[in-house]
Chains A and B, each alone.
Chain A
Amino acid sequence: MKRALLFAAIVFTAVAPFSVGAQESNAQKNSAILIKNATLLTITHGNIEHGSVLIRDGKIAAVGTDLKAPDGATVIDASGQYVMPGIVDCHSHIAIDGGVNEGSISVSSMANIADVLNPDDLSIYDDLAGGVTEANVLHGSANPIGGQTVVIKLRWGKPASELPFEGALPGIKFALGENPKRSNFTPPPGVEPRYPATRLGVEETIRAAFIEAREYKREWDDYKQKKAAGNQNLIPPRRDEKLEPLVEVLEGKRYVHSHCYRADEILMLIRVANEFGFKVRTFQHVLEGYKVADEIAASGAGGSTFSDWWAYKMEAFDAIPYNAALMTDRGVIVSVNSDDAEEARHLNQEAAKSMKYGGLSANDALKLITLNPAIQLGIDNRVGSIEVGKDADLAIFNHDPLSVYAVVQKTLIDGQVYFDRQRDIDARPGLEKEKQDLLAKEKKAAEEKKAEGKSEGKPDKSPEGKKKKPPTKQSNVGNVSGGGL
């Protein structure tokens, strides 16, 4: 565990996907929901005491103090509770199957997180229990240019195809510094160390890739032009899964989210981006962002940082908890992210730290985990604040979310309740019983099998009886297939 667990007990005896949750939600989708008597933290229009939010067809239909529930509407009485926009986590690695990094090569842009989304990852539910509704699911930081990334809604219980945030621009992960130069890996004998091994090499790798991408784009443009001019018998260029996402970056159709720490490498990437005519959408971690906040702001990039997580390696030493507030002061759009399934469960508290360190207002602190990351991901027209017309992605806390006592009661996405603390608590005895029953059933079956083997009296004659071989790959089999679940 990277940090102390501050959050009060959040339990995740999650209901299995493809069962109750999804069905209930479908029913809700068709009817209106009124959340009433709550303190609404709208982010864009101040706080509303004794406020109500009316939800229709998954969208916020009305916000006010004297809303009436339409016929057939579900009413959630949130007396004494706080409703805020669902939390947007701008740096997450949840819900990924089969490895977060394609770390074998320095440019792995052909790898795509969208291919390997795992909707069964319990971290989705854990994060819902922390009020998170959107996550920017990123490839790891092993490579100067990593894999393609995807923004998801935490629609627990829905298949992978329904997780991506509709219309959100896809991204690509870049990484600078120690991770991509492989400072912490020594290859075994006979294996060549991977290029690059220095920060200079990281820059060169990125430049080389974009030169290649530019050339690739030219080849295709050339081919299409000739083809359009009626030229026959042309051999088309090969499709290149590595370069196509980079062409999209050049064309502004894909966001760059770059892992970084030090001021010098931040400036480096701004220069490289300028050279090739693209924009860095966010600098991630960006722990020395406070040193070059003006340059970041001028470049139009956002900064997505930690509240107070540092010193875990050389390049992360020069960090200060004032980073988020200082960058905000200089006009950078700043978010606070988790980079971690556990941390994502208390992003509200991470945001609150910028009130102590840097003196952000409560509303600006909340912006760090709502509107700002939504802007950074280009989804602020849909989420990030409580406004009429936006998606009904909301978190209901029992206290002010900036308080350490705040615990999420309900989390809604598209107007559907995906996490309900009481429902979770109520389901636990039944799930525990199911589990004990299944364990007992397995135990009984195992005993019967044992007895059967004995009564046959010739276990060695049957193939099964002879399975006394040492465990081989086969014994992993159950594990692997089960583990994939």
Chain B
Amino acid sequence: MKNRFKFRHVLLVFMAACIVSLIAWARSARASGEAPRYFAITNARIVTGTGSVINSGTVVVARGLIQAVGENVAIPPEAWVIDGKGLTVYPGLIDAGTDLGLPREEAADTAAAGRGRRRAAPTGEIAKGPEDRPGTTPWRVAADEFKTDDKRIETWRNAGFTTALSVPDGGIFPGQATVVALAGDRHGDYIVKAVATLPISFRPVGGFWGFPDSLMGSIAYIRQVFDDSTWYAQADPIYAANVTKFERLPYDRTEQVISRELHDKETVLLPANNSVQILRALRLADEWKINAVIYGAQQGYEVADSIAAKKTPVLVNLKWPERVKDADPEAEQTLRELRFRDRAPSSPAVLAKSGVKFGFYSGGLTGPKDIFKNTRKAIAAGLAPDAALRAFTADSAEILGVSDRMGSIAPGKIANLVITDGEIFGEKTKVKDVFVDGRWFEIHEEPAADKAGDHKTDEPAGAPADELVSGEGVGR
């Protein structure tokens, strides 16, 4: 009896607490030390990313998702209200190719014995052929290696990036790339889609003494891996049904992963920066029957129609080619290089005109400032600003297979938002607030933001970026 009474008492208290919290959830949450989960951004200009712009409206964020957006939207009583007067709300930006959160690994495999040191002893095992599976670890998943303490995560987020594709590096099949959120309390919060897309590199990993040591060797190897995986998908069920009839199939982790990948029609990232590489990648994608996404594409301006004809999506590397720093001033600059450096920023505009779906990625740029600066170059070269925004939001989301969850400001989408005091790509524009999964970040003046991020920003962006930038960095 006594116990029961006590229980009722507790219940009463609890109910009271509930009522209080319903009236002023935010306050109670704050009081208990938890982050608020309901927000309303009012009186703001809202660029939804689906084509419509609301000149003065409200976005309601509830428990990580966008609950409502519109001119006249009821503000839930529990919401924290952010006055968006004079501000613009955009969908959170996506950097569709980074090594954020992935520590740079030195000499994980024979890749370290690259062509620069052709005759040096390789550090890893020397592959004697495709059967040795050189540089092949497709079972690695970036999510598993993602480190939340990478200072660059904050740097990117402070600039309006809420999402990134973290691409593992090292080898021909380095592992699965992961879509990550650029905020979270725990590691798991950061992972949006662990197995998002499969990057492939054509960079030979043999280092002269091992296989493959040439671009054609790399291509032949990848072809053999697809052959083998297709074979495995065919052979394994037959074996399983007839175990007394056949020799056991040898265990091959690569075949298992790639055959599943082929079965699921997961996208494959194929590096291709110049027109020759792009056309080659399109042809190989056809031959291998894979859902390819071209990444690099800085000479897309020459072959945009061919890409459009194949309906192949593209991720454009925003690290526009520049003259090598400290290059020999006497060295001959070929017209071809000069033209490429001049025209590369026009690639997005030409791709857009041809109807190619493309996203943007930072590709080794050391910080968001450069990302925006180079985006402005693309805009100056003819890309419509709203197309540039799509490349950072809806179109990237679609290419990465997360458009059901993000890429625009619409009810049900993840609350990834960036609030600015002007046009998002404007030179003087400042980011005021960022929401990642409904987590609110107030962005302070630049020096503070810089302080938070600039330490790591100085670091070279790492090997994946290099690969992403160079397309195929094979020797000439």
Interface stretch, picked from A30-38, A385-393, A477-485, is A477-485
For residues 150 through 191 of chain A, which have their beta carbon under 8 Å from a beta carbon of chain B? 159-161, 187-191
- For B155, the chain A residues whose CB sits under 8 A away are 463
Partner of B120, one of A102, A111, A188, A477: A188
From known contacts A187-B209, A189-B121, A469-B458, infer whether A98 and B235 are also in contact, taking CB-CB under 8 Å.
Answer: no
CA distance A238 to B284 in the complex (A): 20
From known contacts A241-B223, A480-B470, infer whether A112 and B216 are also in contact, taking CB-CB under 8 Å.
Answer: yes
A-B Cβ contacts below 8 A, count: 256
> Are B223 and A478 interface neighbours, CB within 8 A?
no
- For B474, the chain A residues whose CB sits under 8 A away are 97-99
Closest to A473 in B: B466
Partner of A473, one of B120, B306, B335, B463: B463
> Are B121 and A478 interface neighbours, CB within 8 A?
no
> Are B274 and A115 interface neighbours, CB within 8 A?
no
> Are B473 and A480 interface neighbours, CB within 8 A?
yes
Closest to A95 in B: B276
- For A100, the chain B residues whose CB sits under 8 A away are 214
> Are B324 and A463 interface neighbours, CB within 8 A?
no
CA distance A238 to B333 in the complex (A): 49
Is A147's CB within 8 Å of the partner chain B?
A: yes
Is B213's CB within 8 Å of the partner chain A?
A: yes
> Are B119 and A188 interface neighbours, CB within 8 A?
yes
Is A464's CB within 8 Å of the partner chain B?
A: yes
For residues 427 through 447 of chain A, which have their beta carbon under 8 Å from a beta carbon of chain B? 431, 434-435, 438-439, 441-442
Partner of B220, one of A110, A438, A466: A110
> Are B246 and A463 interface neighbours, CB within 8 A?
no
- For B322, the chain A residues whose CB sits under 8 A away are 478
- Distance in Å: Cβ of B120 to nearest Cβ of chain A: 6
| Mask of A450-485 contacts with B, CB within 8 angstroms, 1/0 | 000000000001111011010111111111111111
- For B280, the chain A residues whose CB sits under 8 A away are 115-116, 160
| Mask of B357-389 contacts with A, CB within 8 angstroms, 1/0 | 000000010111110010000000000000000
For residues 263 through 303 of chain B, which have their beta carbon under 8 Å from a beta carbon of chain A? 273-277, 279-280, 283-284, 296, 298-299, 302-303
Is B319's CB within 8 Å of the partner chain A?
A: yes
- For A463, the chain B residues whose CB sits under 8 A away are 155, 366-370, 450, 453-454, 457-458
| Mask of A227-251 contacts with B, CB within 8 angstroms, 1/0 | 0000001111011111000000000
- For B333, the chain A residues whose CB sits under 8 A away are 435, 439
- Distance in Å: Cβ of A362 to nearest Cβ of chain B: 39
> Are A473 and B276 interface neighbours, CB within 8 A?
no
For residues 119 through 144 of chain A, which have their beta carbon under 8 Å from a beta carbon of chain B? 119-120, 139
Partner of A464, one of B234, B370, B463: B370
From known contacts A99-B214, A481-B321, infer whether A110 and B342 are also in contact, taking CB-CB under 8 Å.
Answer: no
Closest to B272 in A: A484
For the side of the interface on A, what is the size category?
35 or more
- Distance in Å: Cβ of A483 to nearest Cβ of chain B: 5
Chain A CB count within 10 A is highest, among B204, B213, B245, B341, for: B213
For the side of the interface on B, what is the size category?
35 or more
Is A105's CB within 8 Å of the partner chain B?
A: yes
Is B227's CB within 8 Å of the partner chain A?
A: yes
- For B245, the chain A residues whose CB sits under 8 A away are 233
From known contacts A235-B235, A236-B234, A467-B366, infer whether A102 and B220 are also in contact, taking CB-CB under 8 Å.
Answer: yes
CA distance A360 to B460 in the complex (A): 64
> Are A236 and B302 interface neighbours, CB within 8 A?
no
Is B4's CB within 8 Å of the partner chain A?
A: no
Interface stretch, picked from B10-18, B126-134, B436-444, is B126-134
Is A23's CB within 8 Å of the partner chain B?
A: no
Chain A CB count within 10 A is highest, among B214, B215, B369, for: B214
> Are A435 and B335 interface neighbours, CB within 8 A?
yes
- For A461, the chain B residues whose CB sits under 8 A away are 446-447, 450, 454
Is A108's CB within 8 Å of the partner chain B?
A: yes
- For A111, the chain B residues whose CB sits under 8 A away are 212, 214, 216-217, 219-220
For residues 250 through 272 of chain A, which have their beta carbon under 8 Å from a beta carbon of chain B? none
From known contacts A236-B235, A435-B335, A464-B369, infer whether A442 and B341 are also in contact, taking CB-CB under 8 Å.
Answer: yes
Is B469's CB within 8 Å of the partner chain A?
A: yes
> Are A161 and B283 interface neighbours, CB within 8 A?
yes
- For B218, the chain A residues whose CB sits under 8 A away are 98
- Distance in Å: Cβ of B45 to nearest Cβ of chain A: 28
Is B228's CB within 8 Å of the partner chain A?
A: yes
Closest to B122 in A: A191
CA distance A422 to B238 in the complex (A): 67
> Are A238 and B276 interface neighbours, CB within 8 A?
no
> Are B128 and A105 interface neighbours, CB within 8 A?
yes
> Are A462 and B369 interface neighbours, CB within 8 A?
yes
A-B contact pairs, 9 of them (CB 8 A): A98-B214, A102-B220, A110-B221, A116-B280, A238-B227, A239-B227, A474-B466, A478-B341, A481-B321
> What would 10 more interface pairs be, CB under 8 Å, given A17-B275, A99-B215?
A111-B219, A115-B219, A120-B274, A159-B279, A188-B121, A191-B122, A234-B238, A467-B458, A476-B324, A485-B276
Instruction: Return the 8 tightest CB-CB contacts between A and B, nearest first.
Output: A98-B215, A99-B214, A463-B367, A98-B474, A188-B121, A102-B217, A110-B220, A438-B338
